[in-house]
A and B are shown apart, each in its own frame.
Chain A
Amino acid sequence: MMGMNVSANIQTDTLLDVKNLCVDYLASSGTVHAVTDVNFTLKRGEILGLAGESGSGKSTLAYAITCLLRPPALISGGEILYYPRSSEDGRDNSRIKMTHLSKGGKSKQAKGASEHSIEETKPINLLQLSPAQLRDLRWNDLAIVFQSAMNALNPVMTVGAQIMDVLRTHRPDMGSDARKQRAKELFQLVGIAPDRLRSYPHELSGGMRQRAIIAIALALSPEILIMDEPTTALDVVVQREILTEIMRLREQLGFSVIFITHDLSLLLELADYVAIMYAGRIVEKASQGDLYAHPRHPYSYGLLNSFPSLHGPRRKMAGIPGSPPDLRMVPPGCAFHVRCPLAIDVCHKVLPTLLPMKGEKSEQLVACHLYDTLYNEKPPTALDLARKYEALAEESNAG
C-alpha cells in the first residue's frame, strides 16, 4: 500500500510553486541565511519529501510556506505561488471569495456568483497577502502538523473542543450540531473512537495525540498538508500506523503533503518525490525510485548510507565525516565540500546550482560540480561513490 502511484482521479497539476525562496535570521552577530534559493513545485495529490539534518533549513522552510515566521526571521526573497482549485471542481460556495484574491488585491466579499469560474485561476503569491487573507488561507487550504503534538494541543481544552474551535473560526455559519457531527467524522477518519472527543490531551497516548492533530489539520479539507517531523517522537510501530493512515487519507481526500523529516529511509518508502537539503539549499531533487536506485549527490549517498540496513550483508559503514554546518559560518563554494570524500578543487570556490543529469530522461536534479562537465569530465558512477565511502569506513575502522 505504501508508495502506490497517485490514483487516476486526482488531477496532476501544480498546486504550489516555490521560487527562489530565501529566509534570513537577523542576529546581532550577523545575518544567518537559513534558506537560500529554494525552488520546488508541489503537484496535486503528491507527497513531496524534504530531507535534511539540523541546519538544513527544512523546518524554517515549512514555517515560511505557512507564513508563520516571526522576527528576527525574515523572508528576504522569492515567491510562494499557490494555485487554488477553481470553483468548478465542486468546492463549496463560501470559499469562492478566495478566487478573488489576486496579486496585492484585497478580497472582495462576493459569495455566490464568481467572476473567475474558469479553469485557470490566477496563482496567489502567499507572501503578498495581508494578515487577514493569510488567516483565511491557513487551515482552509494549507494546514500544518507539528513535531510534538503535546506542544501543539492546548492542555486545558478537550480535543473535541479544539476541533470545534477551528470549525467555529473558519466556518461561522456552521451550527453547533453540524460542528459536533463534523468533529466525530474527523475522528473516525483518523481512527479514533468518537467518544474520545471529550478527552484532554494528556489522557491520550502519543499516537492518538498525533492522530488528533492530523484530524484538526484535516478539519477544513485543506489542499496542502505540511508535516514537520510528525512521527519523530513516536515509537516505530505507531509511526508506521500513522504513516499508513496518512497514505490512506491522501487516497481518500486527495490532498498533497509536504513531509519534512531527517529520516531519509522513511521518505523513500513514503514520498513520491524527494528534495534533500543541506545548509539551507536543495542539493538534490529526485523521484523516489531514482533516489533509491542512484543517489547522485555525495551527501545524498552518504545520508542514505547512514542508515544501517535490516537485511542484506553486514558491512562496516561510515556515515559522513564532520558534522552538519553551523549556519553562521557556512563554508564557501559548496557548503558540503568540507565533508565530501569526492571534493575537487572547484568545490570550495564556486557554488553549484541544481542541474538536471545530462542525457537522462528522468527528472533528477543535482547541485554538484562532479556532474557538471564544465568542471569534471567524467561524472562519478554509483560504484565510485560506493568505493569512496567504503574507503572512509576502512579508515575509521583503523583509527
Chain B
Amino acid sequence: MNDIAVQLNKANSEYHQGPILEGVHLQKKFPIGSLKLSATQRAVHAVEDASLALYPGRALALVGESGSGKTTVARILAGLYSPTSGMVRFRGEPAKLTDKKYLQTYRRNVQLVLQDPFSSLNPVHDVRYHLARPLRIFNHAQNRKQETEQILSLLNRVNLSPAEQFIQKYPHQLSGGQRQRVSIARALAVQPEVLLADEPVSMLDVSIRLDILNLLLRLKDEERLALLFITHDIASARYFAEDTLVMYAGQMVEGGPSDEVIQRPKHPYTQLLISAAPNPDNLHAQNDKEVTTFTARGEIPSLIQPPSGCRFHPRCPHAMPVCSQRFPARTDLGGGRWTNCFLFGDDEN
C-alpha cells in the first residue's frame, strides 16, 4: 500500500508543479483558395479557442467526432501547424515554434504517434532505419554498436520480441499492431517528455487495441510521460485517461476527471455522445438505471461557415437565444470539472 501512496504523492506533487505542455486559447483557421488575405477570406475554422494542459505521468483524453478539431490541436502541439492565435507553452515558457532551432529542441521533448499503422512507416525502409534516425538526429547514440543496443532495447520495451528478428523487417512484413508498436518505439527513441497519440488504436483490430493501450499506460507510468490521447471512442477515453476533454466542431465543450464526465455528463453534446455509443448493457439495464436516450437532430456543421456562438446550438434541445449570439465562457463546476454552456452559467456578466 505504501508504494501506491508514494506514487500518488509523487503524481500530486507533479500535478501541482504545473503542466509541462499547455495550449492556451488556440485558434486555427485554414484559408481556402489562393493568396488573398482579405477579411472576407473564406476559411475552415478548424479550432476555436482551445485550451488544455498536460501533466507528467497523467493522461488526458481528447474526445470528439470528425471535424471536432482534435487532430488539429494535436498537430499544433506537435509543431506542425502554427496557430492563428493563441500560444503553446512548454514548461511555462511560450514555445517559439516558428523558430527552427527552437523547434528542434522542442521536438526532443514532444513526440507524436499517428493513427494509421499502414502509412506511418515508410515502406522502403526497415525497422532499424526507422528507429536509428531519431537516435542519430538527437545524438542519443555515439556509435553504431550503441545504436544497435538502444534499438534492441526499444523493441523489447514495446514488446516486439525477439528484437533481433524485428530489426530487419520491413513494414509490409509486420501486422498492424506490430507497426503501431514500431511507431511508438520510434517516438520513444527521442526520449520525449510528452507523447501525443492521435487515435493510436482506431485502425487496429479490436482484440489487440487494449494491448497497445496498456503498453502506453505502462510507458506513461515508467517514464512519467505526459500523454494526450485523442479518440472518438469515449469508452476507451474512460479506460485510458485520468482526465477527459470533449470537443465539438472546433470548440471545447466540457472537461474534467474522466469518470465524472462520462458518468455524469453535463453538456448536452457530451450526453448525446454517450447515449449514442454502442453499449450492450443498454438492453439489459436494470429498471432503476436510467438509460439516457437522446434524439439527435442534424449533423456536424460545416466548418467553413460554422454556426455562430455555440456551434452546437442548432442541434441542442436546450438551445436559448443567447446560444447563437456568443460562445459561453468556461464555467467551473468544481472538482476539476468545467463546461462551456449557458445552462450552467454565464461568466460574461
Contacts and interface: CB of A to CB of B under 8 A. Distances in A.
A241 B275 CA distance: 11
Contacts of B218: 397
Contacts of A309: 235, 279, 281
B259 A314 contact: yes
B65 A323 contact: no
A306 B296 contact: no
B334 interface: no
Contacts of B107: none
Interface string A232-261: 000111111100000000000000000000
A397 B207 contact: no
Contacts of B277: 236, 310
Contacts of A235: 65-66, 232, 300
A312 interface: yes
B276 A237 contact: yes
A266 interface: yes
A307 to B, nearest CB: 7
A262 B203 CA distance: 11
B46 interface: no
B283 A3 contact: yes
Interface residues of A, number: 47
Contact of B205 (A316, A317, A318, A324): A324
Interface centre among A239, A263, A396 (most CB of B within 10 A): A396
B206 A311 contact: no
Interface centre among A268, A311, A321 (most CB of B within 10 A): A311
A60 to B, nearest CB: 16
B262 interface: yes
B208 to A, nearest CB: 5
A239 B276 contact: yes
Contacts of B175: 323-324, 326
Interface string A262-301: 1111101100000000000000000011001100000000
Interface string A201-212: 000011110000
A15 B272 CA distance: 37
Contacts of A307: 206, 235, 278
B206 A236 contact: no
A263 B205 CA distance: 10
B209 A306 contact: yes
A269 B300 contact: no
Contacts of A265: 278-280
A329 B274 CA distance: 40
Nearest to A278: B207
B279 A310 contact: yes
A67 B289 CA distance: 46
B299 A205 contact: yes
B282 A323 contact: no
Contacts of B289: 311
Interface in A19-33: none
* Interface size range on B against A: 35 or more
Interface in B249-274: 259, 262-263, 272-274
A245 B263 CA distance: 27
A236 B65 contact: yes
Contacts of B274: 310
A302 interface: yes
A379 interface: no
B40 to A, nearest CB: 23
Given A264-B206, A303-B207, A396-B214, A236 B299 contact: no
Contact of A207 (B263, B275, B299): B299
A313 B308 CA distance: 39
A316 B272 CA distance: 26
B311 to A, nearest CB: 14
B236 interface: yes
Given A53-B206, A262-B206, A319 B211 contact: yes
Nearest to A53: B205
A353 interface: no
B44 to A, nearest CB: 15
A317 B235 CA distance: 13
B207 A320 contact: yes
B333 interface: no
A2 interface: yes
Given A307-B235, A310-B238, A324 B284 contact: no
Nearest to A264: B206
A17 B343 CA distance: 55
A319 B276 contact: no
A15 B234 CA distance: 38
A269 B283 CA distance: 7
A54 interface: yes
B283 A268 contact: yes
B210 interface: yes
A338 B283 CA distance: 34
Contacts of B259: 314
B239 interface: yes
Interface centre among A54, A292, A307, A310 (most CB of B within 10 A): A310
B177 interface: yes
A332 interface: no
A175 interface: no
A14 to B, nearest CB: 26
Interface centre among A207, A314, A319 (most CB of B within 10 A): A319
A311 B280 contact: no
A333 interface: no
7 contacts: A53-B207, A237-B273, A265-B280, A306-B210, A317-B210, A320-B207, A396-B211
Interface of A: 2-3, 53-54, 205-208, 235-241, 262-266, 268-269, 288-289, 292-293, 302-303, 306-312, 314, 316-321, 323-324, 326, 396-397
Given A237-B65, A314-B239, 7 more contacts: A308-B210, A309-B281, A310-B274, A310-B279, A317-B239, A319-B208, A324-B205
Task: State the 6 A-B residue pairs at the shortest beta-carbon distance, nearest first.
Answer: A319-B210, A308-B239, A268-B280, A235-B65, A240-B276, A320-B207
